[in-house]
Amino acid sequence: MYTTGKIRISLLRLAMAALLVMLCTGLVLAADARSILKESENRHRTKTQQYAGDLTVVNKNGKIRKKGWKSFREGYAGDAKNLIRFTDPPEVKGVGFLSLARPGGQNPDQWLYLPSMKRERRIAAQDRDGSFVGTDFNYEDMEEFDHEKYSVALQGEQTIDGNPCFVIAATPLEKGAKSVYGKKILFVRKDNLYLLREDLYRKADKEPVKRMILSDLQQIDGHWVARKMEMNDLKKGSKTTVLLKEISFNRLHPAGRFTLQNLNREGGG
């Protein structure tokens, strides 16, 4: 009887210990996801970035359209300012896009400049699901991932193209910012903490609607950068590939580049 009681107490302790371990493991994994993303941001944060992008949009029927843009960034993720100016083809040449991060984890302010209109148009922060100038990116996709706007959890590990990756689930906090997605699954390369893939799930969807793949990693000016960025619309069956060239980091931008004044400057960079 005494022995049975001791065994029961031992089993109870074991169960409690197991529960504690499971709880702690969960906390550690959650903490790990955050610290991985923080470390990733620390490693890849640059003061500025600029590049020229060659875009290829392939629809489900295989019809190919090419575009070109120049991209300028100052800051990173949650404090980023972005300006994109299309250079090609003629029908979109001069179209400009300005995105300015807002404090408090809110959605950034975004504007689109259309040369035919000669003035900017504001993109409502909660409605950024439209195609970005005929590509498979939407307005939210044009922002860098800011982990502070998400609750994150490490889901495990997976190998992508021979590279072991952390798999992190990111769910929008929906406090200040609103997302067009319900969940993002991030695949972060373990050795250099560079994002290689992002699966994007719409709210209430169980399958990803889009998949962004970053590849052809190279070190430029001491910074890792993916020279190829591919956005797959899994629902529509279309794909937009951006090949980055003329990449440079930490070069000072001219004063006023990230302003509405400059966005409205016809032919301006």
Contact positions toward other proteins, by CB under 8 A?
59-60, 63, 65-67, 88-91, 93, 102, 109, 116-119, 121-127, 129-131, 134, 236, 238, 254-256, 259-261, 265-268
| Residue closer to other proteins (CB basis): 142 or 196 | 142
Nearer to other proteins, 40 or 241 (CB): 241
- Exposure string of 189-226, with b = 16+ CB inside 10 Å and e = fewer, is beeebbbbbbbbbbeeeeebbbbbbbeeeeeeeebebb
d(CA 80, CA 108): 9
Q: Please, what is the minimum distance in Å from the beta carbon of residue 240 to other proteins?
A: 12
Nearest to 230 by CA among 196, 188, 189: 196
Q: Nearest distance from residue 147's CB to other proteins, in Å?
A: 24
Residue with smaller CB distance to other proteins, 89 or 164: 89
Omega of the bond leading into 89 within 30 degrees of 0 (cis): yes
The residue count of the chain comes to 269
Residue 163 or 259 having the CB closest to other proteins: 259
The residue (of 38 and 178) whose beta carbon lies closer to other proteins is: 178
Extended strands (E) in the chain: 48-58, 64-74, 81-88, 96-100, 109-114, 119-123, 150-160, 163-172, 181-189, 195-202, 210-220, 223-233, 238-249
What is the C-alpha separation between 194 and 180, in angstroms, rounded? 24
The Cα angle at residue 253 between residues 94 and 90, in degrees rounded to 5? 10
Who's near 109: CB < 8 A, 6+ residues apart? 99, 100, 102, 122, 125
Query: What is the token pair recorded at 88?
Result: 């090609």
**Phi-psi sector, 155: left (phi>0), alpha (psi -120 to 50), beta:** alpha
Q: Choose between 119 and 175: whose C-beta lies nearer to other proteins.
A: 119
Q: How far is the CB of 220 from other proteins (least distance, A)?
A: 25
Query: Based on CB atoms, which residue is closest to other proteins, 88 or 216?
Result: 88
Least Cβ distance, residue 56 to other proteins (angstroms)? 11
CB of 129: closest distance to other proteins in angstroms?
6
For the bound state, the minimum distance from the C-beta of residue 89 to other proteins, rounded and expressed in Å, comes to 4
At closest approach, how far in Å is the CB of 179 from other proteins?
Answer: 13
